[in-house]
Amino acid sequence: MQIIPVHIEKEIAPSDDLSGMIMGSEKLNDGDIIVIAQKVISKQEGRLIRLTDVTPSLLSQGISSQYQKDSRIIELILSESKRIVRMHNGILVVETNNGFVCANAGIDESNVKDGYATLLPVDSDISAKKIRDEIFEQTAKKVAVIISDTFGRPFRMGQTNVAIGVSGLNPILDYAGTLDSFKKILRVSAIAIADELSSASELVMGKSLKCPAAIIRDYSFEFEDSAVDVLLRTESEDLFR
């Protein structure tokens, strides 16, 4: 398996042809998986917010005074969330409108101009499908697309990249019903391959290398219509909610 970095020097703007930039960077093959950082998708889709345009509510101001956090960022977090799960040490763990449980609703001020913040895409599955369809229309190459973002983990230090949108592959490889090397039937082994591919891609994408995408080549998978919500644990199965 190969992981090929896709370097894009230009700062992405809403009018940019992101699919064309990816295609122009590297020749694509049938069966490639393209992993794209959420940040450039958000910029291309106009999900870049100028903080001076945000008016904090009384609730946002109250939370801000308690946690010494910008009240405008708090307001954006609340507007992008269904509910607050936890608040501690200046971090708001929320359930976003997309159904993700993550810190600060995925709102980020890194790799953007001062005074701005990015929001998650409205629907990252649709974002992934749009890129995939544009590539097929222009190259006739059948690829899969993953939109990735950096999430923390409840049991371990450090962050890792995970999938927040998919098109063209099932994000889970389910081994249930198959046999292990000792001929025992596997019952609960389901591997989150979209998350693993996202994490592997981050090793070449980095955070400051102007490499917002990567091409995974020679990974064997079946093309399939799916959605990222199969990765989301239901509240009844979640020990933290």
Mean pLDDT of the chain: 91
Q: Which of 67-71, 95-99, 129-133, 198-202 has the lowest mean pLDDT?
A: 67-71
What's the pLDDT tens digit per position in 11-37?
Answer: 899 989 999 999 988 889 999 999 999
In a domain, 101, yes or no: yes
Q: What is the pTM of this model?
A: 0.92
Q: Are residues 155 and 223 in the same domain?
A: yes
CB-based contact 19:133 (threshold 8 Å): no
What is the arithmetic mean of pLDDT over 39-64? 94
Of 94, 120, 146, the domain-final residue: 120
Which pLDDT belongs to residue 49? 95
Q: Are residues 140 and 130 in the same domain?
A: yes
Task: Please check the confidence at residue 179 and state whether its pLDDT lies above 80.
Answer: no
Q: Which domain holds residue 213?
A: 1-46+121-231
Which pLDDT belongs to residue 186? 61
Token look-up 């000792």 returns: 182
What's the pLDDT tens digit per position in 91-100?
Answer: 899 999 999 9
Q: 12 Cβ partners below 8 Å, 6+ apart?
A: 18, 40, 43, 44, 212
Q: Are residues 151 and 69 in the same domain?
A: no
Residue 107 vs residues 39, 74, 111, 195, 213: alpha-carbon distances, Å? 10, 10, 12, 20, 20
What is the arithmetic mean of pLDDT over 79-98? 91
User: Who has greater pLDDT, 111 or 19?
Assistant: 19
Please state the domain count of the chain. 2
Residue 114's DSSP bridge partners are none
What is the arithmetic mean of pLDDT over 168-173? 94
In a domain, 237, yes or no: no
**Confidence label for 153 from pLDDT (cuts 50, 70 and 90):** confident
184: its two tokens: 């025992």
Q: Are residues 21 and 64 in the same domain?
A: no
User: Who has greater pLDDT, 73 or 182?
Assistant: 73
Task: Please check the confidence at residue 240 and state whether its pLDDT lies above 80.
Answer: no
User: Who has greater pLDDT, 185 or 22?
Assistant: 22
Q: Are residues 115 and 141 in the same domain?
A: no
Secondary element (H or E) of residue 96: strand 91-96
What proportion of the chain, given as a percentage, has pLDDT over 90? 72
Nearest to 186 by CA among 174, 172, 195: 174
Using left for φ > 0, alpha for ψ between -120 and 50, and beta otherwise, residue 169 falls in: beta
Q: Are residues 152 and 56 in the same domain?
A: no
Q: Are residues 142 and 215 in the same domain?
A: yes
In a domain, 238, yes or no: no
Which pLDDT belongs to residue 119? 96
In a domain, 181, yes or no: yes
Which pLDDT belongs to residue 47? 95
What is the arithmetic mean of pLDDT over 234-241? 79
Which pLDDT belongs to residue 177? 61
